[in-house]
Amino acid sequence: MKDKIIQQYEELLTSYMQERQEDQLYAAQQMSKWMLDQKIPPEEIVSYHADAVRKQLPDLPSTVQDSFNLLIEMMIGYGIALKEHEALLHRQKELEYEIEVAVGMQQTLLPDEPPELADLDIGVISVAANRMSGDYYNFVDQGGSVLGIALSDIIGKGIPAALCMSMIKYAMDQLDDPRGPSEILRKLNAVVERNVDPSMFITMVYGVYDSVNHQFQYASAGHEPGFFYKAEQDVFEDLITRGLVLGVTKEVTYQEFNLQLEPGDAVILFSDGVTECRVDGQFLGRERFKELLQEHMHLSAQQAVEAVYQYLYELSNYELKDDQTIILLRRKD
pLDDT at 177: 62
Q: What's the topology of domain 111-331?
A: Phosphatase 2c; domain 1 (3.60.40)
Q: Where are the domains of the chain?
A: 1-103, 111-331
pLDDT at 176: 60
Q: Is 170 in a helix, a strand, or coil?
A: helix
- Is residue 133 within 8 Å of 271, Cβ to Cβ? no
| Alpha helices (H) along 149-233 | 158-173, 181-195
1-103 and 111-331 share one fold: no
- H/E run at residue 101: helix 62-109
Distance (Å, whole) CA 325 – CA 124: 7
Rg of the Cα trace of the chain?
32
Q: 1-103 has which CATH code?
A: 1.10.1240.30
- Kindly give, in sequence order, each residue whose CB lies less than 8 Å from that of residue 265, ignoring residues fewer than 6 positions away: 228, 229, 230, 231, 259, 330, 331
Name the pTM for this structure.
0.74
Could you list the pLDDT tens digit for every one of the 333 residues in the chain? 677 877 887 888 888 888 888 888 888 888 888 887 888 888 888 888 888 888 888 887 888 778 878 878 878 887 788 788 888 888 888 777 777 776 666 677 788 888 888 889 999 999 888 777 788 899 988 877 889 999 999 876 667 777 788 788 888 877 766 678 999 999 999 888 888 877 788 899 999 999 989 999 999 999 999 999 999 999 999 999 888 999 888 888 999 999 999 999 999 999 998 998 887 778 888 999 999 999 999 999 999 999 999 998 888 887 788 889 999 999 997
Distance (Å, whole) CA 57 – CA 53: 6
Distance (Å, whole) CA 153 – CA 176: 23
Distance (Å, whole) CA 318 – CA 323: 13
